[in-house]
Amino acid sequence: MTDFNEEEIRELRELLEKEKIRKLKQLYSHLMDSGQIDALADIFTEDAICEFGPEYGNWEGKETIRANYHGVFNGQPPFNVMHHITNHYIEMTGPDTAKGRSYLLDVATSVEPEGQPFVWFGLYDEDYRKVDGQWLISKCSLQFLWPQRMTMPAFETPFPVVN
């Protein structure tokens, strides 16, 4: 009773997986901003890597990621800073792997109205891996673009577009 051909069904399945990854990325920001750091760490693979350049360094492994996020956000009230993620582009690289790129607009909510609320403009490049049926972040690289440009050498390579 469906009018979809095999190719359209394959595309619909891919769209469903991409939507799950988008939901994961939105959850990343919500958990970070609301101070739910232990839950935030749980959306990373055990062997995950975070590359946050000269500002925060490289973090390897879920427990290091958990400890370092606690170090960055402990003592801050929920939503003291809000990480707005936009323009999320996802490319499936296999049945259980994908790459994504999204823009970061990092805004401080504790700034007086006449102040400048933007903390960072950045660009996330991420690898995602499906583990036990759930999408997780396996690599998160953040390029800081403003107010100071702090990019890593890998940033100069084009984002993969497989199609």
pLDDT for residue 158: 74
Residue 73 has phi, psi (to 5 degrees) of -105, -10
Tokens of 23: 């939901």
Number of structural domains in the chain: 1
- Contact between 104 and 96 under an 8 Å Cβ cutoff? The reply is no
Residue 42 has phi, psi (to 5 degrees) of -75, -10
**Is the pTM value of this prediction over 0.85?**
yes
> Rounded to an integer, what is the distance from CA 146 to the centroid of its chain?
18
What CATH number is associated with residue 47? 3.10.450.50
Summarised one tens digit per residue, pLDDT across range 50-97 is: 999 888 999 999 999 999 999 999 999 999 999 999 999 999 999 999
Tokens of 42: 């749980």
Domain that holds residue 23: 6-153
Longest dimension (CA), the chain: 59
Output the tens digit of pLDDT for each of the chain's 163 residues. 579 999 999 999 999 999 999 999 999 999 999 999 999 999 999 999 999 988 899 999 999 999 999 999 999 999 999 999 999 999 999 999 999 999 999 999 999 999 999 999 999 999 999 999 999 999 999 999 999 999 988 776 777 665 5
Residue 163 domain flag = no
